[in-house]
Structure 1
């Protein structure tokens, strides 16, 4: 049995396609800002899942949007507390929307 060796024209390492980091955040914002879709609880759940990783990575806008979503839409105290923590982080980073939301919550 004869084996063929790798041809010289093939790359040594396969190229890895890395999706843009902000793509999931853009999709989540589009879902939440859409007048028709943004009111659906299932869509809000999907948007929250899309915002979760960018918020963990420190993206201020994602922290702000996810914090608002968790404070407004979640029924349990644990999720509201996590949402407030996310809003505080975003507010400390200078996000005006998070600062306003915190002002509404803490008043």
Structure 2
């Protein structure tokens, strides 16, 4: 059986299609703001998972929401400290919600 070889005109690597960061942030915000879902531990866990990568990449809204979630919902000191660091980053970038949350924590 004979196979055709790939010609030089065709690029060897296909472009990677990635989901926009904004979509995961918006879904996470919807989960956290939904009156019926916001009390669910599973919804909070999923929202945290969706916010983690955009927060690492510097999306201010993701840093703010993940920081709030970690400060309010996590039981151990390490996670609360990470949450406060995320809130500080978002507050430095001008996020009002993060600035208010930091004011409540540090008072």
Normalized against structure 2, the TM-score is what? 0.88
Unaligned 5+ runs, structure 1? none
The alignment covers a number of residue pairs equal to 105
Paired residue for 2:97?
97
Structure 1 residue 91, shift from structure 2 partner: 0.5
After the TM superposition, list the runs of 4 or more consecutive aligned residues in structure 1 that deviate by more than 6 angstroms: none
Paired residue for 1:5?
4
Q: Distance in 2 between matches of 1:54 and 1:15?
A: 21
Relative distance call for 1:94 and 1:7 in structure 2 (3 A) is closer
Q: CA RMSD of the aligned region, Å?
A: 1.8
Paired residue for 2:24?
24
In terms of Rg, which structure is larger?
1
Q: Distance in 2 between matches of 1:16 and 1:63?
A: 25
Normalized against structure 1, the TM-score is what? 0.88
Structure 1 residue 6, shift from structure 2 partner: 5.2
Q: Distance in 1 between matches of 2:50 and 2:82?
A: 16
- Matched residue of 2:21: which SS? coil
